[in-house]
């Protein structure tokens, strides 16, 4: 057995025996649950995080992500299975390193891969033979090979022989109680076949089904296909909502009836706009990449155009409903219910509710909000949801359909309810106006 083969076999042995040390760069919505899953499986996991507050909280066993159980985290930290640090030099002790840093858009809608580059540079400084590196952050096809690989590969230090590099997209669905890390199949594509095979072995330790693909580019594209599928279908159904509005039809009735077809139809639902860290952002990574190849990704751009108009459409519905009651947005007290970008999560990033609030304030509305999971946002504080806060509002707008809300009580006490999520389904009352 040659030395190069030794590297692979040695690492694989450590992985299957759960003796490999795992470093996770970025302990956010993706990195922390992954770190917890690996340490629950018996691995020693170190999170490398630039935010000192998060590092301090983890090392005290305090959890800041709703999907991670506080008691589990506490136990893992107490038993030295999980720790966090700001010190990147620990990377040199790691057998496998997984990058889970943010990939936002710049104001110009161009990808901001500076976080990936920074993580790549720290890994390069600490790289040793036999290490596996996996990028999980969502990005455009080519990033792993074009951005990370050149930082790591040097003379006499070759990918697939001396170290291993792969891309594996994250499929986290915050708040989803059915599909967790373990039972959500995981895609893995390596720079070489050996890279793929070792990364597959790593994820098989914590995930029931790992699906290898032929390259890092293919794995990067899988994630963008998944999110493009969502953005386009949401764009389509939002346009159907605009069409139904023109035709004075109930969009929700039409969708529910269409969804009784047992084949060839998958229901998507309209709403106040797209939110979250993934769906509104990731497809733009793809269209940006394609522009450089003189290809215009029309579906993505069109869906983006429709989705971005939805907060304005909702505000026009609020305006019309108040007008019916001889009121205007200006001067009206408007209570927004739900700031999180989707139900039952605490994440308000890119939330369309924030756009709705901004538009209402621009028109002179006196806006307040309640969200049991988001105590404050952009200078506003969540107010208690009480009979009097509902009664005091000229209009109550449901922007996020959290399940803890008692919609019957909301309708009973409110003067006017604008429901952008069909949260009041089954409740019949003339004061409800749906999107
Ligand atoms: N949140 C989701 O539901 C989700 C789902 C699928 C994919 N993703 C993708 O996963 C990636 C991470 O997303 P997230 O939601 O976990 O982001 P996040 O902002 O919650 O977490 C990222 C963490 O990385 C830290 N960080 C930034 N730069 C760092 C660096 N150089 N070194 C160490 N730590 C650093 C940040 O402080 C933060 O704690 C993104 O590419 C995102 O698109 C997210």
pLDDT digits (tens, 9 = 90+) for 247-283: 999 999 999 999 999 999 999 999 999 887 788 888 8
Q: Which pLDDT belongs to residue 105? A: 87
From 101, 122, 143, the mutation candidate for ligand 1 (largest count of ligand atoms within 8 A of CB) is: 101
Structure tokens at 330: 């200006």
Catalytic residue among 63, 195, 278, 395: 278
Q: Which pLDDT belongs to residue 338? A: 98
Q: Is 355 in the pocket of ligand 1 (CB under 6 A)?
A: no
Q: Which pLDDT belongs to residue 156? A: 79
Closest ligand 1 atom, residue 169 Cα: 7
pTM score: 0.92
Distance 87 CA to ligand 1 centre (A): 18
Closest ligand 1 atom, residue 171 Cα: 6
Distance of alpha carbon 153 from alpha carbon 196, whole angstroms: 17
DSSP structural state of residue 402: -
Q: Is 175 in the pocket of ligand 1 (CB under 6 A)?
A: no
Whether 100 is catalytic is: no
Q: Is 174 in the pocket of ligand 1 (CB under 6 A)?
A: yes
Residue 131 in this model has a pLDDT that exceeds 60: yes
Render pLDDT for 274-321 as a digit per residue (tens, 0 to 9): 887 788 888 889 999 999 999 999 999 999 999 999 999 999 999 999
Distance of CA 335 to the CA centre of its chain: 26
Distance 112 CA to ligand 1 centre (A): 12
Q: Which pLDDT belongs to residue 5? A: 60
Distance of alpha carbon 360 from alpha carbon 315, whole angstroms: 7
Q: Which pLDDT belongs to residue 3? A: 56
Structure tokens at 426: 């089954």
Q: Is 138 in the pocket of ligand 1 (CB under 6 A)?
A: yes
| DSSP notation for 277-342 | SSTTTHHHHHHHHHHTTT---HHHHHHHHHHHTHHHHHHHHHHHHHHHTT--STT-EEEEE--SSS
Structure tokens at 405: 């809300």
Residue 4 in this model has a pLDDT that exceeds 70: no
Q: At which residue do the structure tokens 């599909």 appear?
A: 179
Q: Which pLDDT belongs to residue 106? A: 86
Residue 2 in this model has a pLDDT that exceeds 60: no
Distance 92 CA to ligand 1 centre (A): 22
Distance of alpha carbon 70 from alpha carbon 218, whole angstroms: 36
Q: Is 54 in the pocket of ligand 1 (CB under 6 A)?
A: yes
Q: Is 278 in the pocket of ligand 1 (CB under 6 A)?
A: yes
Distance 211 CA to ligand 1 centre (A): 23
Distance 281 CA to ligand 1 centre (A): 13
From 277, 280, 349, the mutation candidate for ligand 1 (largest count of ligand atoms within 8 A of CB) is: 277
Write the burial class of residue 388 (CB in 10 Å: 0-12 exposed, 13-18 middle, 19+ buried). Answer: exposed
Distance of alpha carbon 210 from alpha carbon 166, whole angstroms: 13
Ligand 1, atom 13, residue with closest C-alpha: 102
Count of C-beta atoms within a 10 Å radius of residue 89? 11
Ligand 1, atom 21, residue with closest C-alpha: 28
From 23, 24, 30, the mutation candidate for ligand 1 (largest count of ligand atoms within 8 A of CB) is: 30
């Amino acid at each position: 057995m040659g030395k190069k083969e030794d590297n692979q076999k040695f690492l694989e042995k450590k992985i299957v025996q759960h003796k490999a040390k795992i470093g996770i760069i970025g302990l956010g919505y993706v990195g922390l649950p992954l770190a917890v899953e690996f340490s629950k499986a018996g691995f020693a996991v170190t999170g490398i995080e630039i935010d000192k507050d998060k590092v301090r909280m983890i090392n005290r066993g305090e959890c800041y992500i709703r999907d991670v159980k506080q008691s589990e985290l506490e136990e893992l930290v107490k038993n030295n299975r999980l720790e966090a640090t700001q010190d990147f030099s620990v990377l040199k002790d790691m057998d496998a390193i997984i990058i889970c840093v943010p990939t936002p858009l710049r104001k110009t809608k161009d990808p901001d891969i500076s976080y990936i580059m920074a993580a790549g540079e720290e890994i390069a400084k600490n790289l040793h033979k036999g290490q596996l590196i996996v990028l999980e952050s969502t990005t455009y096809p080519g990033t792993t090979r074009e951005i990370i690989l050149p930082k790591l590969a040097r003379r006499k230090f070759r990918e697939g022989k001396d170290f291993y590099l792969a891309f594996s997209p994250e499929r986290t669905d915050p708040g989803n109680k059915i599909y967790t890390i373990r039972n959500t199949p995981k895609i893995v594509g390596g720079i070489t076949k050996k890279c793929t095979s070792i990364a597959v072995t790593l994820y098989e330790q914590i995930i029931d089904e790992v699906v290898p693909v032929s390259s890092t580019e293919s794995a990067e594209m899988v994630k963008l296909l998944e999110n493009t599928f969502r953005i386009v279908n949401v764009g389509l159904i939002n346009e159907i909502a605009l069409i139904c509005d023109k035709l004075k039809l109930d969009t929700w009735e039409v969708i529910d009836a269409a969804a009784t077809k047992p084949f060839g139809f998958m229901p998507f639902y309209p709403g106040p706009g797209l939110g979250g860290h993934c769906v509104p952002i990731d497809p733009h990574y793809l269209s940006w990449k394609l522009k450089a190849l003189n290809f215009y990704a029309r579906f993505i751009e069109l869906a983006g155009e429709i989705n971005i108009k939805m907060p304005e459409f909702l505000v026009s519905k609020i305006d019309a409903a108040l007008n019916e009651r001889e009121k205007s947005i200006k001067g009206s007290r408007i209570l927004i219910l739900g700031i999180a970008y989707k139900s039952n999560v605490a994440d308000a990033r890119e939330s369309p509710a924030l756009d709705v609030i901004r538009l209402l304030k621009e028109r002179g509305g006196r806006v307040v909000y309640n969200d049991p999971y988001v105590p404050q946002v952009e200078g506003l504080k969540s107010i208690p949801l009480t009979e009097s806060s509902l009664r005091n509002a000229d209009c109550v707008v449901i922007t996020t359909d959290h399940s803890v809300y008692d919609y019957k009580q909301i309708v009973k006490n409110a003067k006017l309810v604008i429901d952008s999520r069909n949260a009041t389904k089954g409740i019949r009352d003339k004061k409800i106006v749906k999107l």
